[in-house]
Amino acid sequence: MGIKHGLTMELSITTDMFNYTYKPRMEEKLRLFKDHGFDYVHWCDDWDNERLYSREDMNLYRWMLDDRGLTCLDVHGAATQAARIDADNQAGHSAYVKLLKNRIEFCSKVGGDAVVVHPPRYHEPHLENRLRRAEAAIAEAAPLCGVLGVTLAFENCYRGDHNVLRWLMERFPEEITSFCLDTGHANLHKNLDELEAFKERLTVTHINDNRGDDDSHMPPGWGTVDWETVNRLMDSVRKPLNLEVTHSYTHFRGSMDEFLAETRKAALNHLKAS
């Protein structure tokens, strides 16, 4: 779990924390994170578009992180409605695989060890066919994962998707597929107990809270997440825990500095160090 030195737990923060409200430049975001005691980040920019990072982009972002003394632990993969893991046409499949390989390469470049991937939706039609298409996409990316030492961390996103995660992990070794726990999604879909089955493959954490009715990505303790169970599930994680908290004017009207301070305080109050 989060490493604890003295009284300070080492935590990671998501880079898209203010992307949907204040929209600061990357330089400003990274400065703010460092100023508030965060030494680690989860790269979550461009998770919902088809932007491909060039070598120049990768080198620039690596330099920016290094310049601020920040370590990138892991990267959120990218997908769109067209370019998705279970795309039912060759164009969508090829676009998705190209995006996935791009983020695997980027993750390795910035020093991370996992790319977060959204699984196929369990309750959409033609599940078996979509699982096979997802399997094919993973198989195409697997050799690059092996060469670069980056796993694909499948996130619990949707109702019933612990069934999908089980199917995928049975087909690939832990060097290729791992688990990303999103505490807010588990609270929404009431499947935290089922997700404990993937505890031994947990490599990435998306820690956030909600009230069980909306994916609001609030700081820990602001909603109804069962933190006792979450802490037990995460007790084998051996890297800083990532706060997948995003600012919204709906639940916080203060400044970026104030929101970061409140988020850090909430995390220290609700998360346990192993």
Give the model confidence (pLDDT) of 170-228 as tens digits.
999 999 999 999 999 999 999 999 999 999 999 999 999 999 999 999 999 999 999 99
- Residue 2 pLDDT: 47
pLDDT digits (tens, 9 = 90+) for 219-244: 999 999 999 999 999 998 999 999 99
- pTM to 2 decimal places: 0.96
Distances from the Cα of 46 to the Cα of 78, 102, 113, 225, angstroms: 7, 12, 18, 27
Distances from the Cα of 4 to the Cα of 8, 58, 240, angstroms: 6, 30, 9
- Closest by CA to 71, choosing from 103, 109, 25, 126, is 109
pLDDT for residue 5 is more than 50: no
Q: Please give the torsion angle defined by the CA atoms of residues 89, 90, 95 and 97, in that order, rounded to the nearest 10 degrees.
A: 110
What are the structural domains of the chain?
A: 4-270 (3.20.20.150)
- Residue 9 pLDDT: 86
pLDDT for residue 112 is more than 50: yes
- Closest by CA to 30, choosing from 58, 62, 70, is 70
pLDDT digits (tens, 9 = 90+) for 66-100: 999 999 999 999 999 999 999 999 999 999 999 99
Reported confidence tier of residue 8, pLDDT bands at 50, 70, 90? low
